[in-house]
Amino acid sequence: MLGKVFLKNPATMSIVKLTIFLALFNSSDSLGQENVSYSEEQSTTGQQIYEQRCASCHGFNLEGFELAPSLSGNFFARRWGAGPADNLARNVQRMPPNEAGLSEGQVASVLAYILSRNGVEPGVNLLPTNLEQLASLTIPAQPLVDQRFTPRSPSFSTNGPVLPVSRLDDLTPVTNDLLLDPPADDWLVWRRTHSNLGHSPLTEINKGNVDDLRLSWTWSLPPGANMMTPIVHDGVMFALSSGDVVQAIDATTGDLLWAYQHELEGENPSESKKGVAIWEDKIIVGTSDVKLIALEAKTGRLAWEHKIDTNDEPDHRFKSAPMIVNDKAIFGLVGQMAVAGGNFIVAIDLNSGEEAWRFYTIARPDELYGNSWNGLSLEERTGGSVWTPGSYDPDTNLVYFGPAPTYDTVTMREFRNVPGTTSDALYTNSTIALNADTGELAWHFQHVKNDLLDLDWAFERQIMELPVNGEMRKAVVTGGKAAIFEAMDAVTGEYLFSIDLDMQNVFSEIDPRTGDKTMFPEAVLQPGEETPGLAKNGVCPDALGARNMQSTSYNPDTKILYVPMQDTCINNLTNRRWQKYPNPEQDGLWGLVKAVNLETREVEWTTRQFAPPASGHLTTDTGLLFRGTIDRLFQAVDQEDGEVLWQQRLDNAPTSYPITYRVDGKQYVAVATNSGSYFANGMERTTGITNSPTGASLWVFKLQD
């Protein structure tokens, strides 16, 4: 199934034209006596006519967009398959609307091209131009869909619609070197760089003028639980939205340049995906039906697609954005209790479109650490989901990921005492370091063994230089739901230190030499128990965590890590939520920001507000911290003390990841809102905040002129 492509053409788009397009939905029950036939030369001519006269609305992939109907794939088969060819010809003859129609010969050529793209083989006979003759010919009911998955040949015409001067014209390829050292003006990676710091060196917007920040433009997105991070390159923004819609937008004006909608195999779109990646002249996208596709960055046309082999498991999903390393797209998949055998991280070679390697996040029996699953068979092992993009260190050529825990905890509670086995459940709740070229495991560090309370360590891994015992070490830093942050040596995986931000009552002690954690006896989930023993008093944090998908940001100049948090515990017996340290002055202030000095390992300051955080954090060299909250506020605060310097109420909660970029010397700040993720919905219920159940937008700000 091809996707839907729409290239914006302001000169021809109109309500009248879109209304006329609806006529293409009509079909006939009359059947011809022979299948259609056309010549290859006819199809080649038809391709040229189609791209000049039709592609501006129906797209280079013949799938249209919004009210411009599909001309290929399942939609075409349902509407036109097994029907007479004159039905389709009569509708094509009327196109393009508001312009001189196609001649009979042109209609026949365009039909031949459409048939070729729908798997109808060419023959010797020409497709007739006469409508009466076409009425006696039938479009085959079962097109050969495999032909539509082949990559475009180098000779494939790039004749497109006549567009006004566009930023797409000056779009340059994004090399591996550019991804390793992105220009300050662009935002090319999920958290700007492969170190995942969430920090920008741009300086135009500062503490002195941030109060002059004003709305530059907005753009409505397809509604859904969308955690998208926009990518910006050469003034063009690429956005991924719910329903597998990819859009290219002028980053200075908000004008749509092209859009693509992937046609799913099945009816179960995946929400909360983190965004797309960019490589060379392609946009790399993970789809809801677990394909990796490449779109031409200048046109939005589909270049190729690769179906991920999921071992016939239907419940794998994309959630993270692909990361591009050494000409490979590397990413992990999510699959919860229904996925027997667990999840995996996979690398796709972008030059060949084929799988280069994969690493299973659930250790397999009879393989390395396969004895850490309490003697369970492979089919009984679940979890290890990869929710966020990895990080990458070019010096070690290692990628770092954090698989989540298992969700089927019953079989892991009572140790079976099988000789030579443990119940650690590797590689869940671990930081794993893999060779970027081969996928071979270099090292792992398990933050929590056999986690039965869903206290994920599944969030961003940040790479930074830190002093440890008087020596500078390259460290990988990450924190879990319990708001314990830990550092490991990036080369060896050696445990360096932990910082407990005092938001949990599960762990009583952390070994300063190894990082091993001792749980309070009441926190250990016993066989047959639905809740741990401390539930009657309250588990801190609750299942949503003291920190969650809202990523931290780190200023490498000040060595301060800024952590978005929520203070929520839960009494599992009464389902009542409460705060860890009830205080009349802070009661009901669910949201927090903690500024943590990673050199001294001390909290510099803490601020509280009513609404929990919604977005990831973004810091800049000018001492600003941008963040969003569940009550629809987007704010700029002072990195020195957390004081709010500027804020704007949005249309919905910004449950995403803000970015900043610069075009033509102007700095912009962008954030996406959406109609709620699992986390956002939970925090709304906790606080009593009511947001719109629909609606999603891009909001872009710049200093007023």
Task: Give the domain CATH number at 395.
Answer: 2.40.10.480
- Which range has the worst mean pLDDT, 361-365, 419-423, 517-521, 538-542? 538-542
Average pLDDT over residues 583-597: 87
- Give 466-499 pLDDT, tens digit per residue: 999 999 999 999 999 999 999 999 999 999 999 9
Percentage of the chain beyond pLDDT 70 is 88
Cα 436–Cα 439–Cα 441 angle in degrees, nearest 5: 105
User: Does pLDDT of 169 surpass 60?
Assistant: yes
Residue 181: pLDDT over 80: yes
- CA 365 – CA 40 distance, rounded (Å): 54
Residue 523's pLDDT is 87
Q: Which residues pair with 629 in a beta bridge?
A: 613
Lowest-confidence pick of 28-32, 224-228, 649-653: 28-32
* Res. 597 pLDDT band, cuts 50 70 90: very high
Check residue 267 and give its pLDDT.
Answer: 65
Q: Is the pLDDT of residue 10 over 90?
A: no
Between CA 192 and CA 204 the distance in angstroms is 18
Residue 575 has pLDDT above 90, yes or no: no
Is the pLDDT reported for residue 314 higher than 90?
Answer: no
Section 298-319 average pLDDT? 90
Which H helix or E strand runs over 133? helix 131-135
On whether residue 538 sits in a domain, the answer given is no
Give yes or no for residue 163 having a pLDDT over 60. Answer: no
Residue 12 pLDDT greater than 90, yes or no = no
pTM of the model: 0.81
Note the pLDDT of residue 197: 98
User: Does 203 fall in a domain?
Assistant: no
Sign of CA dihedral 546, 552, 555, 559: positive
Which region among 334-343, 375-384, 560-569, 680-689 has the lowest average model confidence (pLDDT)? 334-343
pLDDT of residue 146: 32
| Domain assignment of residue 118, yes or no | yes
Q: How far apart are CA 313 and CA 176, in angstroms?
A: 33
Task: Give me the phi and psi of 444, to 5 degrees please.
Answer: -145, 155
Q: Which of 38-47, 173-182, 322-331 has the lowest mean pLDDT?
A: 38-47
Q: What is the domain count for the chain? A: 2
pLDDT given at position 67 = 54
The whole-number average pLDDT for the span 428-435 is: 98
Confidence class for position 149, pLDDT limits 50, 70, 90: very low
Can you list the positions of beta strands (E) in 581-663? 591-597, 602-609, 618-620, 624-628, 633-638, 644-649, 659-663
The CATH number covering residue 49 comes to 1.10.760.10
Q: Lowest-pLDDT range, 72-81, 177-186, 215-224, 382-391?
A: 72-81
In sequence order, what are the beta bridge partners of 328?
325, 349
| pLDDT given for residue 323 in this prediction | 97
**Residue 315: pLDDT over 50:** yes
Predicted local distance difference test score (pLDDT) of residue 417:
79
Question: Residue 676 half-sphere exposure, CB side, CA atoms within 13 Å?
Answer: 15
| Band of residue 142 on the pLDDT scale cut at 50, 70, 90 | low
- Among 81-90, 180-189, 339-348, 646-655, which stretch is predicted with the lowest mean pLDDT? 81-90
403 in helix, strand or coil?
coil
Q: Read off the pLDDT of each residue in 294-321 and give the average, rounded to a whole number.
A: 91
User: What is the pLDDT averaged over residues 234-253?
Assistant: 95
Q: What is the mean pLDDT of residues 45-66?
A: 78
Instruction: Return the ∠ at Cα 291 (arms to 286 and 294), rounded to 5°.
Output: 65
Residue 119: which pLDDT band, with cuts at 50, 70 and 90? confident
Considering only residues 95 and 619, tell me which one the structure prediction assigns the higher pLDDT: 619
The answer to the question of residue 623 being in a domain is: no
291 part of a folded domain: no
Confidence at residue 63, expressed as pLDDT on a 0 to 100 scale: 65
- The pairing of strands 34-35 and 137-138 is parallel
pLDDT at position 687, please?
85
| Six token digits for residue 138 | 């039938």
- The mean pLDDT value of the chain amounts to 86
Q: Determine the pLDDT at residue 584.
A: 73
Q: Which two tokens stand for residue 30?
A: 């009359």
Pairing of strands 344-349, 282-286: unpaired
C-alpha Rg value of the chain to the nearest Å: 27
Mean pLDDT across 11-31: 34
Question: Which of 425, 458, 491 represents a domain boundary (last residue)?
Answer: 458
| Position 394 in a domain | yes
Cβ density class 318-334: b for 16+ within 10 Å, e for less: bbbbbbbbbbbbbbbbb
How does DSSP assign 14-78, residue by residue? -HHHHHHHGGGG-------SEE----HHHHHHHHHHHHHHTHHHH-TTS--BTTB--SSHHHHHH
Domain boundary among 458, 478, 503: 458
Sheet with 644-649: strands ordered across: 199-200, 618-620, 624-628, 633-638, 644-649
pLDDT at 13: 35
Residue 270 has pLDDT above 90, yes or no: no
Burial of 153 (0-12, 13-18, 19+ CB in 10 A): exposed
Please report the pLDDT score of residue 3 as a whole number: 52
For range 161-171, the mean pLDDT: 68
In tens, the pLDDT along 185-197 reads: 999 999 999 999 9
Domain that holds residue 399: 311-458
**Predicted confidence band of residue 144 (pLDDT cuts 50, 70, 90):** very low
Q: Which of 164, 179, 209 is the last residue of a domain?
A: 164
Do the domain assignments include residue 75?
yes
Report the pLDDT value the prediction gives residue 484, as an integer from 0 to 100: 98
pLDDT for the residue numbered 356:
98
Q: What is the pLDDT of residue 497?
A: 98
Q: Which two tokens stand for residue 133?
A: 């003759």
Rounded to an integer, the average pLDDT of 317-339 is: 91
702 within a domain of the structure (yes/no): no
| CA distance linking residue 424 with residue 362, whole number of Å | 11
* pLDDT value, residue 157: 28
